[in-house]
Amino acid sequence: MKIDKSWTLFLDRDGVINRKIDGDYVRNLNQFEWLPGIHDSIRQLSLVFGKIIIVTNQQGVGKGLMTHEEVNTIHEHIKNLVAEKGGKIDAIYYAPELKSENSDLRKPNIGMAHLAKNDFPGIDFLKSIMVGDTMSDMQFGKKAGMITVFITNVKLPPESLNLIDLHFEDVAAFAVYIQNPGS
């Protein structure tokens, strides 16, 4: 697989870029904690991909546990700090709806992919990679026609293998692979 600037990288947020809070949501900037090495990984990936886009379900908004303003503050923090560290995030899309609403925006549905393509018409889903840590991330990627990368440090269940093209322990391992695919 030869990746160049014509490719787009889609990243999930919680569990991929920042630490997930078990049984809860990252409700505000005080609860946001970067995963180790993520800044350097995104910087490296920024050298390879033409666009880097975050797509994230944030149903805590729909539950009234956090506001759009709090989510946007976190997202501005992500974009600003990644830029300070030499990387880039071109856009962040989030779905605030409850899972029970079955919104087109919420992953595994691909509404956020369509929003990204609308904002960046050059995006080709067949030249895109979705990196995530849940099966809904993998379903999102597959429905849109993307290559899927699962971030996990556990053995994959056999039934998930048709959704997952590649898997790595973390984004850093994926970044190394993308820069040296033959090694």
Q: Which residues are catalytic?
A: 12, 14
In this structure, the number of other CB atoms found within 10 A of the CB of residue 75 comes to 19
**Sheet order of strands, 147-151 included:** 91-95, 51-57, 8-11, 128-132, 147-151, 166-168
Distance (Å) of CA 75 to CA 1, 4, 13, 29, 145: 30, 26, 10, 9, 26
Length of the chain: 183
Phi/psi for 129 (5° steps) reads -125, 135
